[in-house]
Amino acid sequence: MGKIEFRPVESADDLDLLDEALRALSVELGDEHLADKGALRGGIFGPVPSAYGLLALSGGKLMGAALFSPVFSTARGAAGVYVSDLWIAEAARGRKLGAGVLAEVAKRTGLLWGSKWMTLAVYAHSTASRRFYTRLGFEAQNNATTMRLSRDAMQRLMRNVQ
């Protein structure tokens, strides 16, 4: 692995690379992959972006990628960044590229919206990922439970509450 170039997702070609990385991540995690390129395009290039993408390339070859979004916490008193997806190519694992991608996300979001902290979620079955994040200083939040409202439930909520 040569020198790494970090590049924000800013073009259709970049979007193709991000989609490739996120699809590979879904396969590795055993996740259903519902985000087609249209959804990614709308999230990243829409009038109010709901996500940002970052690519890590070596000699033009995709080695890593991250998808992330802004968050704000009154408890933390500052803007932060939520990393929803982090993927590193098999050939680049164990070479500190994951930490490099997260550091680049932190730098860029600090400049974009003044983020001061980072959060992410890790699947319970992904023990290697948990060890990686712990080594970087991430701490499990045992005092909070992540809760999700599905697409269908969100539609019902919007219909039923007026």
User: pLDDT tens for residues 134-147?
Assistant: 999 999 888 888 88
Q: Taking residues 86-108, what's their average pLDDT?
A: 95
Domains of the chain (ranges plus CATH)?
A: 5-160 (3.40.630.30)
CA distances from 38 to 8, 12, 16, 85, 123 (A): 18, 11, 11, 17, 26
β-strand 61-73 against 78-88: which pairing, if any? antiparallel
Handedness of CA 117, 111, 70, 97 (dihedral sign): negative
Q: For the residues 47-65, what does the mean pLDDT come to?
A: 96
In this prediction, residues 123-138 reach a mean pLDDT of 90
What tokens appear for 102 in the block? 């997260």
Q: Could you give the percent of the chain with pLDDT greater than 70?
A: 99
Q: Which residue has the higher pLDDT, 142 or 70?
A: 70
Q: What is the pLDDT of residue 162?
A: 62
Which pLDDT belongs to residue 146? Answer: 84
What is the value of pTM for the model shown? 0.91
Q: Which of 136, 158, 16 is nearest to 24 (CA)?
A: 16
Residue type, 26: S
Residue 37 has pLDDT above 70, yes or no: yes
Average pLDDT over residues 62-80: 96
Order of strands across the sheet that contains 5-8: 5-8, 52-58, 61-73, 78-88, 117-120
Degrees to nearest 5, angle at CA 70 with 64 and 74:
140
Helix (H, G, I), strand (E, B) or coil at 121: coil
Mean pLDDT of 21-26: 96
Mean pLDDT taken over the chain: 93
